[in-house]
């Protein structure tokens, strides 16, 4: 009897987942997804044809974790570390159906490919609260994240029709879990703005943000078995089994950044901005410095001493003390950016040498005109000297 051609095994496919601006002061005068690799389909020969190779077939998802730039973080200076998620590899050995001789005909050996799904790592990430000057709450952001798709390919044990033995093929369909994504979320910097003519500076709030929990479901390709059989001559075909294959569910927890706020306050001789776990003292530049100068006036010592005392009393243990220089919008941008930096350093030096604040805790930065607290011009577009005077300031802040 001639051996009938049997239904070939379905081809298996592996898709391996990879996945400040400067300003000016009125005192100055103008002069990627990593690529996926797909294995070529490998058709399994039917019994009665040439034997296939014994190598196992790999299988995994389609969508990859988005590429990230730079090394994976181990700490987050401006936020919280979101831990990596390790997804273990899945392996199932190939099943070899040995050669058999039935009714004088040889039925060649067949190898049913195994499954190899490589381990996946969803990298660690950072939430971020961007640095911001005193009187502002920095922009907050949580990055996007993806769990890649995964697939277990179909499998088939071929049938037999030879020597008086007829066995139907047995098949398990492939299963797939699609990729799951959570979009990144963010909220912008918010700052308190001094009303024209003075008065009460309003409360501001940076909203709570949350990146939702995501989950890729568990999948399973069922166990299959082709029974054994014998003909009248007591020539037998043994039973064949292909074990079930499972891929566990994968979860990425929700991530959130709480809301923060700055309390309202009344403008007085000294401006104090407190709330959201921080305190800031805004000192007018005209109180501290002469025209176009970064040398602190002797008469400014009393105000700086008062600020230093409150910083020392209210700051959290070891907290950094930030000194930010600001200018108005008049004058050469480059000159006034430099002037704001020099003034911030001058105040930081005074606090270290005269105010008792440890130098190692002091950080000085200049923002030029980029962070005004009030307009530099009036509603009709004309110059507003009073507004510009409010924008010329040094802000000393720390966490409480």
Residue 120 CA to residue 126 CA, distance in Å, equals 19
Which whole number is the average pLDDT over 203-214?
Answer: 94
**199 confidence band (pLDDT: 50, 70, 90):** low
* pLDDT at residue 242, rounded to an integer: 97
Contact 12, 315 (CB under 8 A): no
* pLDDT at residue 198, rounded to an integer: 53
* pLDDT at residue 34, rounded to an integer: 36
* pLDDT at residue 221, rounded to an integer: 97
**Within 10 Å of residue 119's Cβ, how many Cβ atoms?**
10
What are the structural domain ranges in the chain?
A: 15-19+32-257, 268-399
Given the structure tokens 């105040």, which residue do they identify? 347
Residue 281 CA to residue 300 CA, distance in Å, equals 14
Question: Is residue 123's pLDDT more than 80?
Answer: yes
Q: How many residues does the chain have?
A: 400
Report the SS3 class of residue 27.
coil
**12 confidence band (pLDDT: 50, 70, 90):** very low
The pLDDT tens digits of the residues spanning 345-361 come to 999 999 999 989 999 99
The pLDDT tens digits of the residues spanning 248-274 come to 999 999 999 999 988 776 554 457 777
Given the structure tokens 């963010």, which residue do they identify? 186
Instruction: Report DSSP letters for 243-278, one per residue.
Output: --EEE--EEE--EEE--EEE--EE--SSEEEEETTE
Q: What are phi and psi of 182, to 5 degrees?
A: -125, 125
The pLDDT tens digits of the residues spanning 72-90 come to 999 999 999 999 999 999 9
11 DSSP β-pair partners: none
Contact 142, 207 (CB under 8 A): no
* Architecture category of domain 268-399 in CATH: 2-Layer Sandwich (3.30)
Which whole number is the average pLDDT over 217-230?
Answer: 96
């Amino acid at each position: 009897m001639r051996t009938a051609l049997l239904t070939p095994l379905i081809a298996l496919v592996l898709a391996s987942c990879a996945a400040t601006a400067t300003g000016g002061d009125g005192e100055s005068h103008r002069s990627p997804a990593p690529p996926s690799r797909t294995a070529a389909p490998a058709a399994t020969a039917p019994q009665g044809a040439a034997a296939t190779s014994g190598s196992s077939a790999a299988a995994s998802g389609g969508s990859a974790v988005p590429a990230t730039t730079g090394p994976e973080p181990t700490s987050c200076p401006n936020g919280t570390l979101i831990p990596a998620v390790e997804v273990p590899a899945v392996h199932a050995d190939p099943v070899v159906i040995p050669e058999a001789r039935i009714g004088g005909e040889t039925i060649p050996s067949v190898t049913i490919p195994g499954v190899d799904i490589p381990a996946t790592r969803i990298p660690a990430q950072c939430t971020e609260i961007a640095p911001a000057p005193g009187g502002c709450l920095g922009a907050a952001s949580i990055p996007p994240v993806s769990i890649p798709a995964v697939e277990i390919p179909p499998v088939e044990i071929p049938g037999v029709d030879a020597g008086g033995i007829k066995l139907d093929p047995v098949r398990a369909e492939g299963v797939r879990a699609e990729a799951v994504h959570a979009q990144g979320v963010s909220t912008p910097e918010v700052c308190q703005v001094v009303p024209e003519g003075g008065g009460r500076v309003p409360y501001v709030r940076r909203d709570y943000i949350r990146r939702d929990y995501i989950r890729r479901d568990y999948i399973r390709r069922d166990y299959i078995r082709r029974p054994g059989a014998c003909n009248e001559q007591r020539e037998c075909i043994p039973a064949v089994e292909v074990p079930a294959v499972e891929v566990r569910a994968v979860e990425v927890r929700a991530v959130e950044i709480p809301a923060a706020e700055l309390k309202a306050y009344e403008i007085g001789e000294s401006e104090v901005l407190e709330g959201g776990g921080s305190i800031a003292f805004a000192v007018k530049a005209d109180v501290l410095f002469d025209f176009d100068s970064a040398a602190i006036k002797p008469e400014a010592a009393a105000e700086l001493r008062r600020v230093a005392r409150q910083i020392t009393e209210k700051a959290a243990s070891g907290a950094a003390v930030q000194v930010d220089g600001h200018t108005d919008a008049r004058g050469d941008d480059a000159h006034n950016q430099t002037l704001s930096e020099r003034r911030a350093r001058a105040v930081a030096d005074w606090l270290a040498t005269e105010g008792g604040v440890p130098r190692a805790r002091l950080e000085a930065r200049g923002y030029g005109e980029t962070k005004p607290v009030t307009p530099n011009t009036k509603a009709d577009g004309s110059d507003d000297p009073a507004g510009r005077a409010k924008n010329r300031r040094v802000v000393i802040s720390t966490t409480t």
